Structure 1
Amino acid sequence: MSGTPPKKHPNSRPGRGQTAIGHIGARLALAALWLLHLLPLGAIDALGRGLGALLWRLAGSRRRIALRNLELCYPQAPAKQREQIAREHFGWLGRSFLERGLLWYAPADRLRGLIHIEGDVKLAERSDRPVMWLVPHFLALDVAGAGILLNQTRRAGSIYQQQSNPVFDRAMRRGRLRFGNAEIFSRRDGSKPLIRAIRRGDAFFNLPDMDFGRKDSAFVPFFGVPAATLLAPSRMARMLDMVVQPVVAQMLPGGQGWRVRFLEPWTDFPTDDPLADTQRMNAWIESEIRRNPSQYLWVHKRFKTRPPGETGLY
């Protein structure tokens, strides 16, 4: 017999030992989150900023992505100003990791006292047409979901990215759905289950501003840079006769909690031009980022997909 070990297939699954270690690590992380929910939010805020400072030093690839995104979106800003925004972003990012303990385990009454609602949160309750909540990727977007489930009765649905670790995936689903009257569908299952739910009367919690590649997307300006952007918000709203209500979530400093703004529904959206609708949507997201630049999700490769013939930006 040859002494050369067989080569592993590049797509081979982790061994049992690796899987067990991953499960144990996830359970330890969840136990830490449970303990954190016992602390005041001000303490979680301080710990989160400390974690963010550590991530700034250790997560080099994500730091570079954030700085590159800011360079593309704010080319006229001095480099020191962009770095300051990125450092602040990592502080909020660290807090967003730790405050999941509150969102997943704290009593409903405590969360109601910390989530400050502005605007018409009950629009979907009253509407005869299905409602699409349009929620950009600010770091407190999970708070928007909790605020909806705690303050209105319309059943809600959304799509989420299934996690590779099943222990963490179950915990995330349970945490997001623990107030009931909601369902989240894996992106792997496509849009059909969600569309059926909307036709039954569910509202749709829609996160419209990530790069999912060229499929069903168009290159639409985002801070002047062509960005692959899903046309689905316009197309779904038109196909299902939906009311579109923008929603923005914001972390407040210290122990003040969060602010979730439910804006007036767009009266002239959708139109019969999905591209123009998507341009309008991106312009609105830009305006919200300018209000609160450090809390947008800068560590995502928003400009990863490029038009044919264009070189990569990262």
Structure 2
Amino acid sequence: MFSGFKKSFLHPRNWLTWLGLGILWAMVQLPYPVIACIGRGLGKASRPFLKRREKIARRNIELCFPEMSTAEKEKLVDDNFISLGMGLLETGMAWFWRDSRVRKWFDVEGCTHLDQAMSTKKGVIAIGVHFMSLELGGRVMGLCQPMMATYRPHNSPLMEWVQTKGRLRSNKAMIDRRNLKGLVNALKSGEAVWFAPDQDYGPRGSVFAPFFSVPDAATTNGTYAVSQLSRSQMLTITMVRKPGNAGYRLHISKAFEDYPDSKIQAARYINKVIEKEILRAPGQYLWVHRRFKTRPEGAAQLYS
């Protein structure tokens, strides 16, 4: 249940956070081409201060795309940091823009697929991936079909309130990703719930399956478990930034017809699905996350 504003949010310890939010709000009032220019500049400027993240991004790209030339890999790292800066301002756009302004900058491919899946009344598991524009993608997704989403609660009570308030501008509810019962109940009641299984959530509840050129990436069993318990429809919903300042496109796939009934095969299947979505715009993906941190017993670590 989303709680309201608390007086404690005005405590002096939160003043810097409020200042940052105020600056973000002011920046996203600018025309979109200006916002995009600032976002790209912020991404480039942040790189010298985020050397650890740069190292992680480069390593992930090396592991996933060993066939790329050194120049191609570096170009992908460059694009990723530009996208990182854009993602910050896209978060502000998601939280603070009016619906009419958001609608102006996106189009949808495959909306009928979601309508068809919803018409079965069995619930819909909307598989997503962690693109940098994720917050804005959630807002756009809700304008097409208000739904629920799984997430990790923020450590800061103020930021938890701010992000939840922003996310609920066009969606129904947020579900703690650990709340399996709540997630399944929502699906059984016919709701659509966004779920992103593309990160390394640790060894518990995971199996190892291929992901791009990495043969043993820890892959959550959550998708398989939720599917087995709910028997809901499954499809992908991802949003990518168009080239230039042309806005965004939301891609909605057809419902899966061949999702496996085996835990290992399901992990392999979902990783292939995620790979396909990432390849829509690889420079916009969250490569700065240590996707391959969890390793099989006895295997060498992939990050130094």
So what's the TM-score if we normalise by structure 2?
A: 0.90
**Contact 1:143/1:258 (<8 A) preserved:** no
- Unaligned stretches of 5+ in structure 1? 1-18
Aligned equivalent of 2:123: 130
Identity of aligned residues (%): 32
Give 1:279 deviation, angstroms. Answer: 0.4
Change (3 A) 1:113 1:127: farther
The farther-off stretch of 230-239 and 48-57 is: 230-239
Give 1:21 deviation, angstroms. Answer: 6.2
Aligned equivalent of 1:301: 290
**Contact 2:118/2:124 (<8 A) preserved:** no
**Contact 2:91/2:133 (<8 A) preserved:** no
Q: Give the secondary-structure state (helix, strand or coil) at the position aligned to 1:122.
A: helix
The one-letter code of the counterpart of 2:248 is: W
Give 1:170 deviation, angstroms. Answer: 1.0
Give 1:136 deviation, angstroms. Answer: 1.3
Aligned equivalent of 2:262: 273
In the alignment, the residues of structure 1 paired with residue 22 and residue 115 of structure 2 have an alpha-carbon distance, to the nearest angstrom, of 34
Aligned equivalent of 1:228: 218
Q: Structure 1 residue 195 and structure 2 residue 184: aligned? A: yes
In the alignment, the residues of structure 2 paired with residue 94 and residue 278 of structure 1 have an alpha-carbon distance, to the nearest angstrom, of 31
Q: 1:34-70 CA distances to partner (integer Å, 9 max, x unpaired)?
A: 1122111111111111111112111011000000101
Give 1:142 deviation, angstroms. Answer: 2.5
Aligned equivalent of 1:3: none
Match of 1:148 among 116, 133, 141: 141
Give 1:179 deviation, angstroms. Answer: 2.4
- Unaligned stretches of 5+ in structure 2? 1-9
Query: How many residue pairs are counted as aligned between the two chains?
Result: 291
Taking the TM superposition and a 5 Å limit, the aligned residue runs for 1:14-29 are 23-29=14-20
Aligned equivalent of 2:105: 114
The one-letter code of the counterpart of 2:190 is: G
Aligned equivalent of 1:285: 274
The one-letter code of the counterpart of 1:137 is: H
CA RMSD of aligned residues (A): 1.8
In the alignment, the residues of structure 2 paired with residue 116 and residue 143 of structure 1 have an alpha-carbon distance, to the nearest angstrom, of 13
Q: Give the secondary-structure state (helix, strand or coil) at the position aligned to 2:210.
A: strand
Q: 1:116-135 CA distances to partner (integer Å, 9 max, x unpaired)?
A: 11112434542321111111
So what's the TM-score if we normalise by structure 1?
A: 0.87
Match of 1:172 among 163, 167, 171: 163
- Larger Rg, first or second structure (1 or 2): 1
Taking the TM superposition and a 5 Å limit, the aligned residue runs for 1:80-91 are 80-91=71-82
**Contact 2:124/2:235 (<8 A) preserved:** yes
Q: 1:125-154 CA distances to partner (integer Å, 9 max, x unpaired)?
A: 42321111111112223333222221235x
Change (3 A) 1:22 1:310: farther
